[in-house]
Amino acid sequence: MTSRNIDYSILFNKDLPSPSGRWQGHPKYNFVGGHSDPNLVPMDRFIESAANVFKGDPRNIAMYNYEGGPQGILTLRSFLARKLAAERGIHVTTEEILITSGSGQGIELINEILLDAGDTVIVESFTFSGALSNLRRRGVNFVGVDVDQKGIRMDHLKDILEDLRTNGIRPKYIYTIPTLQNPTGTVMTMERRYQLINLSEEYEVPIFEDECYADLIFEGEYEKAIRALDDSNRVLHIGSFSKSLGPGIRLGYVVASWDVMSRLISRKNDAGTGVMDQMIVGDYFSNHYDDHIQDMRRALKRKCDVLSAALREHFGPLVDFEEPRGGMYLWAKLPSGIDSRDFVQTALNEGIAYNPGPDWSADPDAAANYIRLCFALPSEIEIWEGIAKLAKVFQLE
Amino acid sequence: MTSRNIDYSILFNKDLPSPSGRWQGHPKYNFVGGHSDPNLVPMDRFIESAANVFKGDPRNIAMYNYEGGPQGILTLRSFLARKLAAERGIHVTTEEILITSGSGQGIELINEILLDAGDTVIVESFTFSGALSNLRRRGVNFVGVDVDQKGIRMDHLKDILEDLRTNGIRPKYIYTIPTLQNPTGTVMTMERRYQLINLSEEYEVPIFEDECYADLIFEGEYEKAIRALDDSNRVLHIGSFSKSLGPGIRLGYVVASWDVMSRLISRKNDAGTGVMDQMIVGDYFSNHYDDHIQDMRRALKRKCDVLSAALREHFGPLVDFEEPRGGMYLWAKLPSGIDSRDFVQTALNEGIAYNPGPDWSADPDAAANYIRLCFALPSEIEIWEGIAKLAKVFQLE
């Protein structure tokens, strides 16, 4: 019988990642990824919204791209147009919005239309691991620009742009997460946002603005989106519903002018993003966005406070971090000499999962002593216990 | 202001498809694609199922890959394991099933792990346009094997395999839609299924079995899946929920042994397929699959009969076709000399959309005088009227 089996190992594409292991379930103290708070998923209201939308036109389900065509369900895009105007200062029509299967698909599509192997882009020195792995997979070069508490350091960016120009390289875009940066949790100042647009103009390099976390400021208001400060086509803007509702819902969006949008649509080969979640989320957020986001912000703030206190208590002076202004991550610096990658398995053996810094860094070794902690999923008790145990893993007490 | 705009045309990737036009809505007489019958979408029961599943564990939504991990929601995979056993003779565990965002993602992932540019695969001479365009995009060569009313012609397949072997080429797979073939609507005989497995063994070429339409036989029972006839790992099997429920729901699946499955999972970069539709469909089909499918089969049979009668009435002896045993397509042959591509725009001007044969053919010119008509979406009256108008477009009356 065995002899009849095919040996796929000699048939596989040469560039494959390692095979996946069998699913082992989630760890008890789960600080990885962008999981959300289960208590904040509006299950009862999803039942109401499902009842609303499934009383509607069945052609939304029976057809490919029924209402609104390949750019996604109109109710959801109309909500987004209103929300982007009210919350982020971005004024666009529904024709400039593309619903995607998670914001990761937004990154994928933008890269797909703009990037060839060998191209160069600029990224923040600490940035989203998924953006970096997408670039690596494509054989695209990236240059990391330093970030501080005010966002991208413009003097460094100017140096990089000048250097690249001297070498005859025009980068394809500057990728930034200006509002609640991933992983640092910082917010770029208005001054820097304007400076960034000026540099983008001077060097003719588009800005790729990722605002996945911009719903989740803890208190007050914050800076308008970079896309709101510019009425040319130079800012490509993406966002997500995964962070405000839960990442099991794979819904994101791209805001782009038609010259880019028409290319994104023609490159979106998935026969459309699934409509059920678009319909339900469109109905729910059209009716309950403000309440939902206020609850979310309060709850995340509380958990962030617990995590900060737990880190101070259990790691003491050996940890250094700035409390984020919002979002779901805390970016913590451990003493230099520690390599956070070395402790991943030991931590997992104790039921604790964290993200080692190097995955979130354009230069992995430069973030060896950093860890990223997502505080949205675990309960307050789990945060406290998990951090106490994690400190022991790092042999800090 | 305009001068500040970026000219993306010089930044775009060199291999892009043409830009999309702005969305124009759907035509009145719509025979294209794989749209479903809106009257058969169980909207009320989706409300019930949504109420059931949203009473469940919110972690399915709050987390990436909560229940069942990256392979998809367990309820849906368990339903599939039962259905595949009962309806298709395929006995697998949920670990051998991967839920995908439409069966198109199944094709994409299988191609992604198996195919490099310059590779060769074998396809049915008339086949799914999406499979062909995926191969073209990758620079993969494909060889078309003739199909007749009994499925792939095995003498032709043997010749092709022998020829390729002589030239030192081992094809990466044989792609077949054996059960209600797209576009021809034929069903491969059991004898041929066994012969295909024998050839696959002899030439060590995997079989890629696409059973997207296998739920939709009109009457009686039909041949077991090829995957059911083989207990080695040589058959990769995909299927879909789009055809039984509606393509707005982007849910499909891959059945594969772990050596392949582990590669598919590690290549699935979408952070999971959306869970809302998985949860709702899993609940609905676990309770109502049999009734649903019986209703669907009866309704499709009725529409197919109307389409057949309309073609005979309005096209007369100028059209030649076999009535399909199920599914949603009729593959019609017009007199040779007609090129169906030439009439697409004229038909659209009359509100009629059909698929020209060349898009569904490994050798486009060989299907110039064919058209594919999907009869699931239009009402019986629309089918009758649309075909009458279409006959005039083709100047046949």
| B326 vs B15, residue with greater confidence | B326
Rounded mean pLDDT, B252-279: 96
Phi, psi (deg, nearest 5) at residue A84: -60, -35
pLDDT given at position A2: 43
Q: Which two tokens stand for residue B311?
A: 């073609």
The model's confidence at residue B242, banded by pLDDT at 50, 70 and 90, is confident
What lies within 8 Å, CB to CB, of B391 at 6+ separation is B314, B315, B397
Q: Give the helix/strand (H/E) hosting B373.
A: strand B370-374
Q: Can you tell me whether residue A368 is helix, strand or coil?
A: coil
First-to-last alpha carbon distance for chain A, in angstroms, is 56
Determine, for residues A62 and B38 on separate chains, whether the beta-carbon distance falls below 8 Å. Answer: yes
Q: What is the pLDDT at residue A3?
A: 57
Mean pLDDT of B168-196: 97
DSSP B101-155: SSHHHHHHHHHHHH--TT-EEEEESB--HHHHHHHHHTT-EEEEE-EETTEE-HH
- Please identify among residues 185-244 of chain B the ones whose CB lies closer than 8 Å to any CB of chain A: 201, 204, 206, 231-234, 242
Contacts A–B by Cβ distance under 8 A: 299
Tell me which residue of A180, A187, A186, A228 sits closest to A207, measured CA to CA: A228
Q: Is the pLDDT of residue B168 over 80?
A: yes
Q: How many CA atoms lie within 13 A of A396 on its CB side?
A: 20
The yes-or-no verdict on residue A31 having pLDDT over 80 is: yes
**Prediction pTM value:** 0.97
Count of C-beta atoms within a 10 Å radius of residue B76: 28
Best residue of B276, B278, B283, B303 to probe chain A, by most A CBs closer than 10 Å: B276
Its ipTM equals 0.96
CATH of the domain spanning B62-288, picked from 3.40.640.10, 1.10.10.370, 3.40.50.450, 1.20.1250.20: 3.40.640.10
> Searching chain B, which residue's CA lies closest to the CA of residue A59?
B38
What pLDDT does residue B380 have?
98
Question: Which residues contact residue B197 at a Cβ distance below 8 angstroms, ignoring those fewer than 6 apart?
Answer: B207, B226, B229, B230, B234, B235
- CA closest to A33 among chain B residues: B64
Query: Which of A66-70, A168-172, B143-147 bottoms out in mean pLDDT, i.e. has the lowest?
Result: A66-70
Q: How far apart are CA B159 and CA A23, in angstroms?
A: 43
CB contact under 8 Å between B54 and A60, yes or no, is no
Residue ranges per structural domain of chain A: 2-43+291-393, 63-288
What average pLDDT does chain A have? 96
Which amino acid, B67?
E
What distance in Å separates residue A71's CA from the closest CA in chain B? 9
What is the per-residue pLDDT for B1? Answer: 42
Within 8 A by CB and 6+ apart from B142, the residues are B120, B121, B122, B123, B132, B135, B362
Of B83, B105, B120, B124, nearest to B282 (Cα)? B83
| Cα–Cα nearest to B331, from B192, B149, B71 | B149
Is the CB of B37 inside 8 Å of chain A's CB atoms? yes
| pLDDT tens per residue, range A100-147 | 999 999 999 999 999 999 999 999 999 999 999 999 999 999 999 999
Residue B21: C-alpha distances to residues A71, A75, A250 (Å): 12, 21, 26
Q: What is the pLDDT of residue B3?
A: 57
Report, as an integer, the average pLDDT of B360-374. 98
Which residue in A has a C-alpha nearest to residue B251's C-alpha? Answer: A274
The answer to whether B266 faces chain A, any CB pair under 8 Å, is yes
Q: Which of A26, A246, A262 sits opposite B19 (nearest CB)?
A: A262
- Classify domain A63-288 at the CATH topology level: Aspartate Aminotransferase; domain 2 (3.40.640)
Residue type, A329: Y
Residue A173 CA to residue A176 CA, distance in Å, equals 9
Q: How confident is the model at residue B75 (pLDDT cuts 50, 70, 90)?
A: very high
Q: What are the tokens at B237?
A: 């099997």
CA A207 to chain centre: 16
What's the token pair of residue B368? 């110039």
Quick one: pLDDT at residue B397? 56
Q: Which residues on B lie below 8 Å from A269 (Cβ)?
A: 104, 108, 134
Identify the CA nearest to B186 among candidates B360, B305, B324, B319: B324
How many residues would you count in chain A? 397
- In angstroms, rounded to a whole number, what is the distance separating the alpha carbons of residues A95 and A359? 35
H-only helix segments in A144-231: 154-166, 190-203
B70/A270 Cβ within 8 A: no
Residue whose C-alpha is closest to residue A383's, from A28, A26, A24, A126: A28
Residue with tokens 């209703």: B295
Inter-chain residue contact A22 with B95, CB threshold 8 Å: yes
pLDDT of B172 higher than 80: yes
In whole numbers, what is the pLDDT of chain B averaged over residues? 96
* H or E element, residue B46: helix B43-53
Domain B2-43+291-393 has CATH 3.90.1150.10: yes
pLDDT single digits (tens) A247-278: 999 999 999 999 999 999 999 999 999 999 99
